[in-house]
Amino acid sequence: MHRALPVAIRKGNNAMHVSTSPKFRENAHDALLDQSLQRALGRLKTGFKDKRSAAIAALPEFEALRDKAVEIKNHTLENLDHYLTAFEANVKANGGHVHWCKDSEEACQTILKICRDKDAKSVLKGKSMISEEIGLNAFLEKQDLQVVETDLGEYIIQLRHEPPSHIIAPAIHVHKEQVADSFRATHKGRDPNRVLDEPRDLLDEAREVMREHFFAADIGITGANFLIAETGTSVIVTNEGNGDLTQTLSRVHIAVASLEKVVPTLEDASTILRVLARSATGQEMSSYTTFSTGPRRAEDLDGPQEYHVVLLDNGRSNMLGTDFQDMLRCIRCAACMNHCPVYGAVGGHAYGWVYPGPMGSVLTPSLIGINQSGHLPNASTFCGKCEEVCPMRIPLPKMMRHWREREFEKHLGASSVRYGLKGWAFMASRPRLYRAATGLAARLLRILGGGRGALRSLPFAGGWTQIRDLPVPEGKTFKQLWEEQQKNKSRQDGGPK
C-alpha cells in the first residue's frame, strides 16, 4: 500500500488524524489503479446493499419509522443543552462520571488522566469512530500504554497500521491472505505451518489471542451509538460481543461519544434502532445491543468498578443553527457510502480522513475546515442515492453543494475551475451571446468531427478524451432544435394556440 495514509500525530494543540483530504484527487487516482483494492470493493457491490433491501422489504413501516427517527433527532438537537444536562445528571445519579471535552486534545488528555489515576498499563478498545477522530490510539501509545483493538476488523487494521476504510467494516479493503500475513507476523510462538486459509481459521486464531487480552485489561474503552438522557445510559450496537467483553472485564469502562449521540428516552432509542441495523448491515437487529448505566452495583459479581463518559464537542456545537445542523442526525450506519458510486470506485482511504463517503464529505469540512478538505464535497456524482438511502433523511447532496459554494467563495478551488465558472457565468447571464457562442461551437465541432460521429481527441480536454470519445454534435444546439420543433408542431397543429 503506497498511498499516503493519514497518520495520527499531535499537531499543536490538537491531537487528531492528519488529513490527506487535500490530496483526494491523487488518492483517488491511485485507488483506481490499485487492483487489490478494486477486487475488495467488488464485494461491496452486493453484500450490504442487497441485505439492506431485503430487510426493508420485510418491514412495511420502514418509511414511517424513518420519519419518526428524523423527528426524534430534530427535537433533540433543538433542545440539545437540556437533554445533555439531563443525561449528565442521570449518569452522576448512577455513580458515573461525565467529562465535557471541547476538542480532541482535551478528550485524549482526559482519557489519559483516567488511565494514570488507575495505574493502567493496558487499554482495550471496542470499535469507536470518535476515538479515530481524536487520534486516541497513537496518543495513548506515545504515553507507553498498550492499546489493543478488539473488534476483528479494527484489530486487523491496527496490525496493518492503517486507518479504517469504512465506518462499520473498517477492514473491508483487506483480503484474507493479507490478514493471514499479519497474523503470522504478529502472533508469535505458534506453528508457522498452521492453516490460515479461510476466514474461519483466521477468526478462531483472533478469538484465542483476544481472550488473553480480555483477561489482562485495565481500561475498557467503547464508543456509543446512543446516550439516553432519561436514564444516563450509553448504548453500543455490535455483532461480535467484543465491546461487551471490553467494558465488562476491565476495571474501568470509558464510553467516548460526541454530543449529538443523545436521545431523550429508551423508547426514542428503540425507534432509531429499528432503522439502524437494517440500513447498515441489513440485519433486523444486530446481535448485541447493550445498555450500560453506571459502574457495577455493590451486589453485582462482575462488571467495571468505574464508569466514565467522555463527551466530545470538537466543532459540533458550531454546526447547530447552520446549513449543516441536519448532519448531526447521522447515526453512522454507512448506508450512504455502501450505495455511493464514488466510494465504490475509490474506497475509503482516498477520502484522507476518518469519515469517508458522502457523510464524510459533509462532516469532514465541518470538523477540520474546508481548507483541509476542499476536494471532498466534489467527490460526488450528485446521483442522490445517499440521501435516498439515509435512514435519517440527511440532505447530503444539498450540503455538499453548500460546501462547494463556500469553497468557491474562499477561493480554494483550482484556478482553472474558477475562471471556467466565471467565464460560463458571464456567458450564461447574456442569453444572446450564449446562444451565438454555443451555436458556433456546435457547428465547429461538427466540422472537426468530419463525419466520423465522434472526436477522439480535443484541445484543452485531453484528460476527458483519453478514455472516451466525444460524440459530435449534430450541428445545432438544443435550443435551436427545440425552436424548430415547436415551429413544426404549431404548423402541424394549424398555427399557434
Partner 1 sequence: MSNSTSRDAILGRIRHSLGRPAQMPDTPPDTPDEVTDRLKNPVANLIPARAQLPHAQQIDLFIKMATQVSATVTRVGSPDDIPREVARYLADQNLPARVRVAPDAGISGLAWDQTMLDISAGIAGPEDAVSVTPSFAAVAETGTVMVRSGPDHPYTLNLLPDTHIVVVHASRVTGCYEDVWARLRQSEGHGNMPRTFLWVTGPSRTGDIEQTIQLGAHGPRRLHIVLVDDT
Quick one: which of 104, 128, 290, 364 contacts partner 1 (CB under 8 A)?
290
Rama region for 127: left / alpha / beta (φ>0; ψ in -120 to 50; rest): beta
459 touches 436 (CB < 8 A): no
- 123-125-129-132 Cα dihedral, nearest 10 degrees: 30
Quick one: which of 218, 230, 323, 387 contacts partner 1 (CB under 8 A)?
230
Nearer to partner 1, 297 or 491 (CB): 297
Size of the residue set binding partner 1 (CB under 8 A): 106
Nearer to partner 1, 198 or 483 (CB): 198
Q: Tell me if residue 236 falls in helix, strand or coil.
A: strand
Least distance CB 25 / partner 1 (angstroms): 28
Quick one: which of 36, 53, 143, 287 contacts partner 1 (CB under 8 A)?
287
Quick one: which of 5, 23, 47, 434 contacts partner 1 (CB under 8 A)?
47
Angle between helices 24-33 and 35-44 (to 10 degrees): 90
107 touches 10 (CB < 8 A): no
Least distance CB 152 / partner 1 (angstroms): 4
- Could you give the CA distance from residue 475 to residue 481 in angstroms, rounded to a whole number? 10
Least distance CB 270 / partner 1 (angstroms): 4
458 binds partner 1 (CB under 8 A): no
Taken in order 32, 35, 40, 42, the sign of the CA dihedral is positive
Least distance CB 284 / partner 1 (angstroms): 5
Nearer to partner 1, 111 or 472 (CB): 111
Q: Tell me if residue 440 falls in helix, strand or coil.
A: helix
Least distance CB 264 / partner 1 (angstroms): 5
Q: Tell me if residue 248 falls in helix, strand or coil.
A: helix
Q: Which three cell numbers stand for residue 425?
A: 457565468
Least distance CB 4 / partner 1 (angstroms): 25
Of 61-69, 368-376, 462-470, 477-485: span binding partner 1 (CB under 8 A):
61-69
14 binds partner 1 (CB under 8 A): no
- Could you give the CA distance from residue 342 to residue 238 in angstroms, rounded to a whole number? 27
Least distance CB 218 / partner 1 (angstroms): 17
Least distance CB 190 / partner 1 (angstroms): 18
How far, CA to CA in Å, does 119 sit from each of 135, 189, 390? Answer: 22, 29, 43
Quick one: which of 2, 13, 60, 468 contacts partner 1 (CB under 8 A)?
60
Least distance CB 383 / partner 1 (angstroms): 23
Quick one: which of 267, 388, 483, 484 contacts partner 1 (CB under 8 A)?
267
187 touches 132 (CB < 8 A): no
Quick one: which of 14, 38, 94, 480 contacts partner 1 (CB under 8 A)?
94
Nearer to partner 1, 261 or 375 (CB): 261
Least distance CB 473 / partner 1 (angstroms): 45
111 touches 222 (CB < 8 A): no
479 touches 435 (CB < 8 A): yes
Quick one: which of 29, 49, 68, 142 contacts partner 1 (CB under 8 A)?
68
- Could you give the CA distance from residue 261 to residue 226 in angstroms, rounded to a whole number? 5
Quick one: which of 299, 429, 432, 496 contacts partner 1 (CB under 8 A)?
299
Binding letters toward partner 1, positions 190-229, x by CB under 8 A: ---------xx-xx---x--xx--xx-------------x
Nearer to partner 1, 406 or 443 (CB): 406
- Could you give the CA distance from residue 172 to residue 337 in angstroms, rounded to a whole number? 12
* Neighbouring C-alpha atoms within 13 Å toward the C-beta of 365: 29
Q: Which of residues 124-163 bind partner 1 (CB under 8 A)?
A: 150-153, 156
Quick one: which of 8, 18, 98, 120 contacts partner 1 (CB under 8 A)?
98
Q: Which of residues 237-266 bind partner 1 (CB under 8 A)?
A: 239-242, 244-245, 248-249, 259, 264-266
Of 291-299, 369-377, 445-453, 483-491: span binding partner 1 (CB under 8 A):
291-299
- Could you give the CA distance from residue 276 to residue 271 in angstroms, rounded to a whole number? 9
Q: Which of residues 324-363 bind partner 1 (CB under 8 A)?
A: none
323 binds partner 1 (CB under 8 A): no
- Could you give the CA distance from residue 142 to residue 109 in angstroms, rounded to a whole number? 12
- Could you give the CA distance from residue 378 to residue 229 in angstroms, rounded to a whole number? 37
Least distance CB 164 / partner 1 (angstroms): 11
83 binds partner 1 (CB under 8 A): yes
Nearer to partner 1, 45 or 456 (CB): 45
Q: Which of residues 160-179 bind partner 1 (CB under 8 A)?
A: 169-172, 174-176, 179
326 touches 161 (CB < 8 A): no
Q: Which three cell numbers stand for residue 474?
A: 449534430
- Could you give the CA distance from residue 292 to residue 220 in angstroms, rounded to a whole number? 13
Least distance CB 315 / partner 1 (angstroms): 10
Nearer to partner 1, 19 or 366 (CB): 366
How far, CA to CA in Å, does 383 sit from each of 8, 388, 473? Answer: 33, 10, 25
